[in-house]
Chains A and B, each alone.
Chain A
Amino acid sequence: MSDAALWPPRTSTAPRRGRPVTTETPLVRRTLIAMAVIGLGLLVFAPLVVVFVEALEDGVAAAVASLGKPDAQAAIRLTLTIAAISVPANAVFGIAAAWFITKYDFRGKAFLITLIDLPFSVSPVVAGLCIVLMFGANSLVGGWLVAQGMPIVFALPGIVLATMFVTFPFVARELIPVMIEQGRAEEEAALTLGASGWRTFRTVTLPNIRWALLYGVLLCNARAMGEFGAVAVVSGKIRGQTATMPITIEMLYNEYLSVAAFALAAVLTLLALVTPLLKTLLELRHADQLSASHRH
C-alpha cells in the first residue's frame, strides 16, 4: 500500500520540503534568538558585570580590605547562619506539605495550596510587620519572651522567622507538580511489599523527588540569603549584630561607601551564583540517571 497513491505530492509548498513542520524560517529564528540574547544581556548579565566592576574600582586590595572589616564579616556570618537554619527547616516543611497535599485527599486542599503560596503574594514588608506585631516587645507573646531573655524581634529568631516565611513556598512548589505526576502507585507497591512508611519514604519517594527537591532547596537558599524587605523590618538593622548582607549593603551604599557596598554585593552575588552552578554540575554528572528516571 503506497501513500503516494492516496496523497499526491504537494507542489505549491516547495519551500517547506525537507524541513520539520515545527521549524520556523531563518528570519523568525534569528529574531527570536536576538531578542533572547539582548534581553538576557541587558537585564541579567550587564548588571552582574557592573557589580563586579564597581567593587574593583579602587583595586582588589581595597575591596578585600572592606570585606575584612568586622561589620562586613558579621554580616556574612549572619547571612550564612540564617540560610543554614531556614533552608533545612523549609526543606522539611516543604516535603511534609507536598507529601500531605499529593498523597492524601481531604477537604480544603485547594485552600491549603493557596495558603502555601501566600508568601509569594504578600509583600515581604507586610510579613515583617506581622512578625513585629506578633512577637514585638509590646505584644503578649513577645513581652513574655523578652522577659525570659529570648527576644524574637530585633534578634536572630525574628530574622530567621521572616526569612522562613518569605522562602516557604519554594520547596513545596517544586515538589507538588512532580509528586502529582508520579502518583501514589510506587509508594503503594512498596507498602504491599512489606516496607514501613518511613522506609517507603526513604527508598522510594525521596529518590524520585530528589532533583525537584534539590532545585527547590537551591532557589530557597538563594532567596534566603538575598531577602531584604521582611528582614529590614524585623532586624532593627543593628550594625554588626542584626544587619544581614543585603541590609549592610544598603547601609554602606547610603553612606556613599560604594566600594565596600559593591564588594559585599559581589560576595552575595557569588554566593547566589554558586547554587545554579552547583545544579548545572550535578545535572551534567547525572545526566544518564536523569533520563533513566525520565524527569522532563
Chain B
Amino acid sequence: MHIEIEDISKEFGTTAALHPVSLAIPSGALVALLGPSGSGKTTLLRILGGLEFPTAGRVLFDGQDATGVTVQDRRAGFVFQSYALFRHMTVFENIAFGLRARPRRSRPPEAEIARRVGRLLDLIRLPEIGARYPSQLSGGQRQRVALARALAIEPRMLLLDEPFGALDAKVRKELRQGLRDIHDTTGLTTVFVTHDQDEAMELADLVVVMSMGRIEQVGRPDDIRARPKTDFVREFISA
C-alpha cells in the first residue's frame, strides 16, 4: 500500500509539533523517519497509525483519503517504543488479541487463531514461548513478540516507534536483520522511527531526515550521505 502525506501539520496547544509536511511513501518500501528528539518523527508516525489526528492536511492510503479513519479501522500494525505488551496475558494471548477483538462474523475460529499464532511464532523464530508472560522474556524477545502481535491483524502497513531503542548493541544488530527479513517476506510498507543514523542508513530503502517539525531531506541512504541538502543533515549524519 502506498502512503501519501499532504501538508500535514499538528499543534499541541500553542506549540507546533509538525509544520506542514508532505511525503510520498511507495508501496512496499522500508522507510526510516530519522531525527533528534522533538523533531516530530513520532508525531508523524502516530498520525499515520491513527493515534493522533492532524490539525490540518490529509493522509491518503492507496489514493483514498484516510485522514478521519479511526485507529481501529486503519489496520496499521503498530510496534510501540517499549512494546506495550499486555502484561497480564501470555505471549499467545498477546498475539491472538487482535484476531479475538474482531467482530464475530469476521473472527476466525479458535483453531484457526491457534494456527496463525503458531505461524507467527515461527516467523519470529520463537516457537516455544507461547505460554510465557512478557515479564519472563528478554528485551529482544519482547520486541519480536510485539512485532508478531502487530502482524497478526494482517495489517496494511507496519509502523514501528524506535523499535530497537531499548536494546543493547548486540541484540540490536541481530534484530535489524530480523526486521529486514520480515519486511522482505511480508512485502508490507514499513515505516520506523529512529534517532540513530546508522540504523536508518543500514536498514532503510528511503530515509526521511526530520528536524524541528520539518522534513529536511528525503532520499536513499547513499544519496543523503553523498549529497546532504542542509547543514543540519550534514551535521546530523556525521555525528
Interface residues of A (CB under 8 A from B): 185-186, 188-196, 199, 203-204, 207-208, 289, 292-294
Q: Is there contact, CB below 8 Å, between A294 and B76? A: no
- B35-79 vs A, CB cutoff 8 Å, 1 = contact: the mask equals 000000000000001110000000000000000000110111110
Q: Which of A188, A195, A289, A294 contacts B84 (CB 8 A)?
A: A188
Q: Is there contact, CB below 8 Å, between B87 and A196? A: no
9-residue interface stretch from B15-23, B97-105, B116-124, B205-213: B97-105
Q: Which of A193, A203, A204, A207 contacts B153 (CB 8 A)?
A: A193
Interface residues of B (CB under 8 A from A): 49-51, 71-72, 74-78, 80-82, 84-88, 97-98, 101-102, 133, 135-136, 149-150, 152-153
Query: Given A208-B87, A208-B88, do A192 and B135 touch, yes or no (CB 8 Å)?
Result: no
Which 5 residue pairs of A and B lie closest in terms of their CB atoms, listed nearest first? A193-B98, A185-B84, A195-B101, A192-B78, A189-B84
Chain A contact surface mostly: helix
Q: How many residue pairs bridge A and B at CB < 8 Å?
A: 73
Query: Given A199-B101, A292-B133, do A191 and B87 touch, yes or no (CB 8 Å)?
Result: no
Given contacts A192-B49, A195-B101, A292-B135, 13 further A-B pairs with CB under 8 A are A185-B84, A186-B84, A188-B84, A189-B84, A189-B85, A191-B51, A192-B72, A192-B150, A194-B98, A207-B88, A208-B87, A208-B88, A292-B88
Q: Give A207 to B94 CA distance when docked, in angstroms.
A: 14
**A292 CB contacts on chain B under 8 angstroms:** 87-88, 133, 135-136
CB distance from A198 to the nearest CB of B (A): 11
Q: Which of A189, A192, A204, A207 contacts B50 (CB 8 A)?
A: A192
Q: Is there contact, CB below 8 Å, between A192 and B51? A: yes
Q: Nearest CB to that of A187 among chain B residues?
A: B84
Q: Give A125 to B53 CA distance when docked, in angstroms.
A: 48
Q: Is there contact, CB below 8 Å, between A186 and B71? A: no
Q: List 6 A-B contacts (CB under 8 A).
A: A186-B84, A189-B149, A195-B72, A195-B97, A292-B133, A292-B135
Q: Is there contact, CB below 8 Å, between B87 and A190? A: no
**B136 CB contacts on chain A under 8 angstroms:** 292
Query: Given A188-B80, A195-B72, A196-B72, do A293 and B102 touch, yes or no (CB 8 Å)?
Result: no
Q: Give A192 to B48 CA distance when docked, in angstroms.
A: 11
Q: Is there contact, CB below 8 Å, between A190 and B97? A: yes
**A188 CB contacts on chain B under 8 angstroms:** 51, 71, 78, 80, 84
CB distance from A108 to the nearest CB of B (A): 14
Q: Give A204 to B88 CA distance when docked, in angstroms.
A: 8
Q: Nearest CB to that of B78 among chain A residues?
A: A192
CB distance from A237 to the nearest CB of B (A): 47
